[in-house]
Amino acid sequence: VPMMVSKSSGDLWEEILAEEDGNLDRGSDFGNSLKPKEPEITVLYRRRKCQNPSKDVVAERRRSNSSSTSLNENRVSLVPAKRVSWNRSLSTRGRTSITVEAFVGYQPQQRKSKRKGKPPLPKGKIIQTPSFDKEIAYFKEVDSFELLEESPSPKRSGTWLMGVQTDKVAIPHLSSVLRKWLIAQKQGCGPPLSLTKILQTPAVCKESVSSALRTLEDGSLPIHPSLSIQNRINFSSLSGDFSIRPSAAERCSEKSCEDIQVAVGKLSLTSYHDSQDGLGWDPLLALLTACGQSAPSTLLDVLLSYCDSENISKVGEGTFGEAFKVGETVCKIVPFGGDFQVNGEVQKRPEELLEEVMLSCTLNRLRRHGDDVLNACTSFIQTIDLRVCKGHYGAALIKAWEDWDGKHGSENDHPKEFPENQNYVVFVQEHGGKDLESFVLLNTDEARSLLLQVTLALAVAEAAYEFEHRDLHWGNILLSRKGSETLSFTLEGRKVNVRTYGLLISIIDFTLSRINTGEDILFLDLSLDPEIFEGPKGDKQFDTYRKMKEVTDECWQGSFPKTNVLWLQYLVDILLLKKSYDRTSKDQRDLRSLKKRLNGYGSARDAAADPFFSDLFVNHES
């Protein structure tokens, strides 16, 4: 008989602990077409102890890690042609810097956060100080698990790593690089975007920009709207459903190709240089290029292309982003580049936004379906458009912000403070629903499907891009009831359908994520922000950061799919401890058994084959 169990149930912990002693693993009596390849993982994870490593030691460690590695044989090989080391330091809630070390000797700036030691608190919510006594007792045994070996970084790195050979890099000319890139995009071949190429592009070189400035003394932007490459780039670099974009026929026409070449030729003379800050290249121009723009738009111009001003409403906020519902979409507005703090944080730099743009575009590619697609899923939030904007917020947005503030109490600064020259990136995304923290789950079926969808999404992204989310707390999983009874995933060429019970998940916020796009490895160097590991002991979220640190041994650029498993274990904890829904004692035991078995898995892909999920798969296809 189902019973309602809530986190406040008085005897839950005693019951859980008593049941744990019985160790009621369900074992392997579940059929599953995604059986782990090896029932037991025997290879031990190499731990390297290094007390208080200096930056040099860390750098050396990175080099040796990246040069002695191999890709998991079950993955699509994505050995990058070049390696870019993107060292990003983290504030308590996000990226604070990104270093293109191939080009500059950037010294990362540590940010002082207003929320020390508590990064991803959802905004506008009253947080009660929890008591962790019983949780600590329960999870003691979990903390002592053995770490398993992870698949390390791809081979052939080094050229770009840690500033090596900076002065020997031959930087191709803007026009040739961008032209090749754009044409490749238009023809549907090659990666969606390459940071390497964008940032190799001397569009962002001082010399190039200066000469462009001399050529265009008035500094005006030469691209006429009729030649705009914006739509074409965005369309081709973001896979998925883009009904508002030009047709495929238009994109593939000869005329279009010529337009792109003309536009690129002119783009090389574009003179946006106001965020050059001694780096030797212009990150704002690179960001504009990546978003397919020659100049920033205004916020309202972008938003009003999706709905009328009276239909804009705010749906959520983070430390860096304000999210607005705009028609059927959500626009996350992230200010960047300014020299004053926003919400108590130093503003993100254009380089950081560039990388987030890259991550979003790359994950978008997983949405493609077709017979030849090896890995596909729709569980990462769909990015519909990406735009660089500049200027004031505008009356409609201010009103939406103030309405939300009146109802929820914003923790963010009032956006009317933004000056006229404020820059933003707007991430136009599908509406993913409510985050797990505030979503009301109905029953165990929903909870199990949620877990499986997250697991499979991570498994698919692992297989395609060595993706690790690295921050999958309950604010970063959105949920909606969209009615579909089953959902398809393609994992390593096999299509599987899973029961949803009407629930769909969307994973957001790739701030801490690590990805191998095939050309670039993007990651956040958490070693530059030790605060994140200093959160309260017993808090599952912070314990997970610490476990990630153990697993990665602070080599954050490496591929350690085990981190995905750690977040799955965190999610099981959340479902056991923080969420209330109809469930039986057996349901709880099953969840706890799953959590134990997760100790033995090295990746989300392994976890997806766990018997816990067996009966959620329908109609397996090979």
Ligand X SMILES: Nc1ncnc2c1ncn2[C@@H]1O[C@H](COP(=O)(O)OP(=O)(O)OP(=O)(O)O)[C@@H](O)[C@H]1O
Residue nearest to ligand X (CB): 318
Q: What is the per-residue binding string for ligand X in 94-123, x denoting contact by CB under 6 A?
A: x-------------------------x-x-
Does 332 bind ligand X (CB under 6 A)? Our answer is: yes
Q: Find the shortest distance in angstroms from Cβ 320 to ligand X.
A: 4
Minimal distance, residue 91 CB to ligand X, in Å: 9
> Residue 472, interface with ligand X (CB under 6 A)?
no
DSSP 365: G
Distance of CA 249 to the CA centre of its chain: 32
The answer to whether residue 481 forms part of the interface with ligand X (CB under 6 A) is no
CA 460 to chain centre: 14
Distances in Å between the alpha carbon of 473 and those of 127, 151, 231, 567?
15, 23, 34, 7
Give me the least distance between CB of 533 and ligand X, in Å please. 17
Q: What residues form DSSP beta bridges with 326? A: 312, 329
Give the interface segment with ligand X, choosing from 291-299, 315-323, 392-400, 602-610 (CB under 6 A).
Answer: 315-323
Please give the Cα distance from 584 to 419 (Å, whole number).
55
Asked if 478 touches ligand X (CB under 6 A), the answer is yes
Matching residue, tokens 């009301």? 440
3-state secondary structure of 146: coil
Contact between 475 and ligand X per CB under 6 A: yes
Using CB under 6 A, which of 66, 151, 234, 319 touches ligand X? Answer: 319
The answer to whether residue 435 forms part of the interface with ligand X (CB under 6 A) is yes
Answer yes or no: are the C-beta atoms of 292 and 230 closer than 8 Å. yes
Q: Smallest distance from the beta carbon of 93 to ligand X, in angstroms?
A: 4
Based on the shown chain and the rule CB under 6 A, indicate whether residue 93 belongs to the binding site for ligand X: yes
Smallest separation, CB 340 to ligand X (Å): 17
Catalytic one among 435, 471, 520, 590? 471
Kindly report the number of other CB atoms within 10 A of residue 286's CB atom. Answer: 25
Give the whole-angstrom CA distance, residue 292 versus residue 270: 13
Our CB check for ligand X shows the closer of 322 and 445 to be 322
Closest to ligand X by CB, 478 or 572? 478
For residue 350, state whether it binds ligand X (rule: CB under 6 A): no
**Should residue 469 be labelled a site residue for ligand X when binding is judged by CB under 6 A?**
no
DSSP 192: S
Q: Which of 223, 233, 216 is nearest to 271 (CA)?
A: 216
CB of 118 to ligand X, least distance (A): 11
316 touches ligand X (CB under 6 A): yes
Could you give the CA distance from residue 264 to residue 286 in angstroms, rounded to a whole number? 13
Whole-angstrom distance, CA of residue 187 vs CA of residue 252: 7
Q: How far is the CB of 232 from ligand X (least distance, A)?
A: 24
Stretch that binds ligand X, among 390-398, 428-436, 446-454, 513-521 (CB under 6 A): 428-436
Residue 200 or 383: the one with the smaller Cβ distance to ligand X is 383
Rounded-to-integer distance, Cα 108 and Cα 225, Å: 38
Q: What single-letter DSSP state applies at residue 514?
A: B
Cβ distance to ligand X smaller for residue 99 or 360: 360
Q: Which of 135, 317, 462, 553 binds ligand X (CB under 6 A)?
A: 317
- Structure tokens of 372? 């030849």
Pick the binder of ligand X from 462, 509, 590, 606 (CB under 6 A).
Answer: 509
CA-nearest of 510, 464, 517 to 490 is 464
Piece in contact with ligand X (CB under 6 A), picked from 216-224, 317-325, 396-404, 591-599: 317-325
Q: Which residues pair with 603 in a beta bridge?
A: none
Q: Residue type at 342?
A: V
Please write down the HEC assignment for all residues of 377-393: CCCECCEEEEEEEECCC
The torsion of the CA quartet 279, 284, 93, 163, rounded to 10 degrees, works out to: -30
Half-sphere exposure of 553 (CA within 13 A, CB side): 21
Phi, psi (rounded to 5 degrees) for 583: -160, 155
Tell me if residue 471 is catalytic.
Answer: yes
Stretch 118-177 residues interacting with ligand X (CB under 6 A)? 120, 122
Task: Report in angstroms how near the CB of residue 177 gets to ligand X at its nearest.
Answer: 30
Count of chain residues binding ligand X (CB under 6 A): 24
Binding site for ligand X (CB under 6 A): 93-94, 120, 122, 315-321, 323, 330, 332, 381, 429, 431-432, 435, 475, 478, 508-509, 511
Residues carrying an active site annotation: 471
